[in-house]
Amino acid sequence: MDSPPPPPIRREAWEGCSVLLDINDGDRLAFFRLTPGATVKIGNKTCSLQPLVGRPFGSLFRLGADGLVPCAAADATSRDHNTRDGADGQTQDETRDNRSLVDNNTAQNLSSDDIEAMKRDGATGDEIVEALIANSSTFGKKTVFSQEKYKLKKQKKYAPKVLLRRPSARSICETYFKKSPARIGFMRVDTLSLLLSMANIGAYSDVLVVDMVGGLVVGAVAERLGGTGYVCSTYLGSAPCSIDIIRMYNLSSDMVSRIVQVPLSDLCSMHSSGNTPSLLNGGAEGEMVEPAVVPDEDAQASLAQQVDTAVSDEKAQLSTDQPTDMEVSEPSLDEHPVQDENSSLDGKGSDGNLDASKSSKAGKAPSPEKMKYWKEHGFSSLIVCAPGHEVERLVADLLPLLSYSAPFAIYHQYLDPLAKCMHSLQVSKMAIGLQLSEPWLREYQVLPSRTHPHMQMNAFGGYILSGIRIHSTDCMIANNFRELVLNLYGSRYFMPPAVGFAGDILVYCLYACGEQTDV
């Protein structure tokens, strides 16, 4: 019997969902939960978020006398029309330039007291902007593009706009990368998309994920699976890593129920019964490297506490005349100063299905049947995002958990750990198609008569090591010889001197297993 189709993606914001508010075209970004008491502070005014409920994602709002007011369709497209008209006007007035303009603060005839008086009289932000334009003695002498730039600057200050965006893998990654890149291991949005593509994430896949970037990758994988397959998030040590970012994805209860967490030690013991060594790190029991993990977990916890505080943006402070916060982490959402205690991400949605943060919590232990299935068949894909950990030893324990011909993708912000891991995989012959790539991305401004690359760009997005796990006959023979020798001599650190050709083969096999011999 075929499984039921996944529920359709809702196009409107609903009570209890998470939303991303884009204020003044990216000057301020903030995540919020749409609860009855949720509010946002813009400038000196605190506005309720209830007008956003029921509105489609992508809607534009302006700051009115009573709070957030939806912009009309004409107002939302006025900027495009003005830009297009400005491009036409530029071709007509090619001789106009700004060389004669002097910035001496005498061109504006409207004082700050007059602007405050207009605000007290109930003037809207657009009316204030029009008054500033009318009282500027140099506005008519500027070029059309300069006039448009002047309008946008004044609009951001006196008539801010709020864009309602859907939290998705792209928008969440872009928001974190812009304001707090260390929280997600400096992973850029194009790097995240390459990880999903190189690991061949698709419907009905069983994906093994090592996510130490707050849950960004786990949420992206679950979003792409769409309620099919499973996402197994494994971790080092006894305490699981935080994956709280997935609560921003607005995943359904079915999607959240397919996100499980299990320690890496349990997966290794299940697969090898505690006997098979790690071929890359020379470990005898395939165990984890605990001493290298403990300080990194402490550093990760301290990093999470630092990110919980709001991050200021000087550019947005000038445009909105207030400190700009970006509530990128879950504790900061719960402790937002203008939200009540009911506005945390543990609220339940109005339909009880699409808001799965309370009804079905992500990260539960998998069922014994599923563990048995993964032991017999292995995982279909592997994604590793573990900044600060030794990738070479970690991959040595993870690759045997995959099925043969399964793709894997490993992310790290530095090149050297991935280069060492790639060399170890080539020597051990555990994978083919190894490729070490560096993503590159540059944004373009696309406007009439002004299409060009952005003057500033981020030149670093990390590195990705990808490949396909294969069956290694030499490793299997070496493991069988190792089992035989250990059973005969009872020690893995001493063996009698090898004599003849058979002894040479035995020494070679033990060397391939990483055992020490005294020959």
Give the DSSP per-residue string, 346-358: T---SSSSS--TT
CA distance 263 to 281: 19
Among the CATH numbers 3.40.50.150, 3.30.70.100, 3.90.1200.10, 3.40.1670.10, which is that of 169-270+360-469? 3.40.50.150
Q: What token pair was written down for 291?
A: 């001493």
Record the pTM: 0.72
Closest CA to 399 of 428, 423, 364, 371: 428
CA distance 208 to 398: 9
Question: What's phi and psi for 340, nearest 5 deg?
Answer: -85, 180
Q: Could you tell me the sign of the dihedral formed by the alpha carbons of 227, 233, 238, 244, in that order?
A: negative
Residue type, 216: L
Helices of type H across 22-158: 73-76, 78-92, 112-120, 125-134, 144-158
Q: What is the pLDDT along the chain (519 residues), one digit of tens a residue?
A: 456 666 677 889 999 999 999 998 888 899 999 999 999 988 888 889 999 999 999 999 988 878 888 887 545 545 555 544 544 444 445 567 777 788 777 888 888 888 888 888 878 888 888 888 888 888 888 888 888 888 888 888 888 899 999 999 999 999 999 988 999 999 999 999 999 999 999 999 999 999 999 999 999 999 999 889 999 999 988 888 888 899 899 998 889 999 999 999 888 887 765 444 443 444 333 333 333 333 344 444 443 333 333 333 433 333 334 333 444 434 343 334 333 333 333 333 333 344 444 445 777 888 999 999 999 999 999 999 998 888 999 999 999 999 999 999 999 999 999 999 999 999 999 999 999 999 988 889 898 878 999 888 887 889 999 999 998 765 555 455 556 555 655 544 444 444 444 455 555 455 545 544 444
CA distance 437 to 409: 11
The answer to whether the beta carbons of residues 355 and 23 sit under 8 Å apart is: no
DSSP class of residue 299?
H
Q: Where are the domains of the chain?
A: 12-78+107-165, 169-270+360-469
CA dihedral (87, 89, 95, 98) in degrees, to 10, reads -70
CA distance 84 to 90: 10
Closest CA to 172 of 246, 224, 251: 246
Closest CA to 53 of 71, 76, 35: 35
**Buried/exposed 322-345: b ≥16 CB within 10 Å, e otherwise:** eebbbbbbbbbbbebeebeeebbb
Q: Is 455 helix (H, G, I), strand (E, B) or coil?
A: coil
The length of the chain, given as a count of residues? 519
